[in-house]
Amino acid sequence: MSPQRHIVCPVSELLPGQRKIVQVGRKSIGVFNVGGEFYALLNHCPHQHAPLCLGPLTGTTEIGEDGRISHAREGEIIRCPWHGWEFDIKSGRSIFNPHRVRTASYAVKVAPLCGGDAMTPPGSEDSDPGVETFPVSVEDAYVILILRREGNQDR
């Protein structure tokens, strides 16, 4: 089945550090601009179903080889507005337990427009098969969310 495309907004309306929440069918999806790259997450915290994408954008702490603690990855982490669970915007994985807890993250593609359709760059079908993915591409100065129809994704 061909992918369903959803125009999110012009690129100029989604600057680095900003997000836009869109409704596509029964799914609420947050689209984020992190340093000029676009990512999309299901707007649903796996903990208690909070609107995850409404939470604050933060960073995280890292410990260097010298033992010093520093703040890193600013704007790449989203914190659930209800209970503070944190997730990596780029992968959907939780910060506290990345191997067991995650929210659905959607692969992001920057694809040229070819005959009115977004092209998928060769070799880009390497996403985790256990994670429902929605590629996002920038076309003709618009951010486009592309939903692949595989099984029953509209739950």
What pLDDT, on the 0 to 100 scale, is given for residue 131? 43
Residue 9 sits in a domain whose CATH number is 2.102.10.10
Is residue 103 exposed (0-12), middle (13-18) or buried (19+ Cβ within 10 Å)?
buried
- pTM of model > 0.85: no
Split into its structural domains, the chain has a count of 1
* Residue 155 belongs to a domain: no
* Residue 142 belongs to a domain: yes
* Residue 14 belongs to a domain: yes
* Residue 152 belongs to a domain: no
- Range of the structural domain that residue 33 is part of: 4-147
What pLDDT, on the 0 to 100 scale, is given for residue 154? 41
Q: How far is CA 121 from the centre of its chain?
A: 19
Which residues, given as ranges, of the chain have pLDDT below 70?
Answer: 1-3, 98, 105-141, 148-155
